Amino acid sequence: YIGRYDYYNKGLDRLITLFSSNIGCDISLLTYGPKDSYGSDAYRFTNESKSIKNIIVENAIFGVEKNKIIADADYLILPSRSEGFPTVVLESLSLSTPCIVSKECNIPIDFNNNGVHIIDFEDTKLVANFFRDICNNPGQKYDDSSFAVELFNKNLSSIVLIPTYEKFFSDFWTSSN
């Protein structure tokens, strides 16, 4: 997990529930986020995770260090209850690291089975079974980062966004005068 330690909205309570239950396999969760933000939420997550041996709480990381952590991970997990379009998913896919995201992350369905596993984190039995399957089939990296790169270049690059914004603001100012 890489993100803010916002206990409820980022779904950190879901991770506590998952990792404190007996899912029948030995997996670890490394989390990275700004410990000094979200005061009581960061403190609560840090304290609750201390009693769970397989959760490691670290401070925020950026740039090359962040890319290395993502590239070395087996999966990136994002159990949020609400997201727009989390760019960490694109970053992860471009580094060939598959993602496990909640259905509330609003990831387009095209991503499902293209390096992203969209699951219902409210269904704790389903989530536990999913992680058990991961344990039984270790080391399955996502081989094709071209999907994320193509999607980014087609929809999100500055070559696409800048003309779109320029047209929007031009139309907006024209219609408001």
Counting DSSP H helices and E strands in the chain, the numbers are 7, 5
| DSSP reduced 3-state for 140 | coil
Q: What angle do CA 73, 79, 85 make, to 5 degrees?
A: 90
Q: Which pLDDT value is given to residue 27?
A: 79
Q: Which pLDDT value is given to residue 163?
A: 72
* Averaged pLDDT, groups of 10, the chain, 177 residues long: 89 86 78 75 74 82 92 92 87 85 86 82 88 74 61 61 70 67
pTM here is: 0.76
Q: Which pLDDT value is given to residue 15?
A: 87
Q: Which pLDDT value is given to residue 111?
A: 77
CA 35, CA 42: separation in Å to the nearest integer? Answer: 6
Q: Is 67 exposed, middle or buried (0-12, 13-18, 19+ CB in 10 A)?
A: middle
Name every residue whose Cβ is closer than 8 Å to that of residue 138 and which is 6 or more positions away in sequence. 74
Strand 116-119: give its sheet, edge to edge.
76-78, 99-102, 116-119
CA 12, CA 6: separation in Å to the nearest integer? Answer: 7
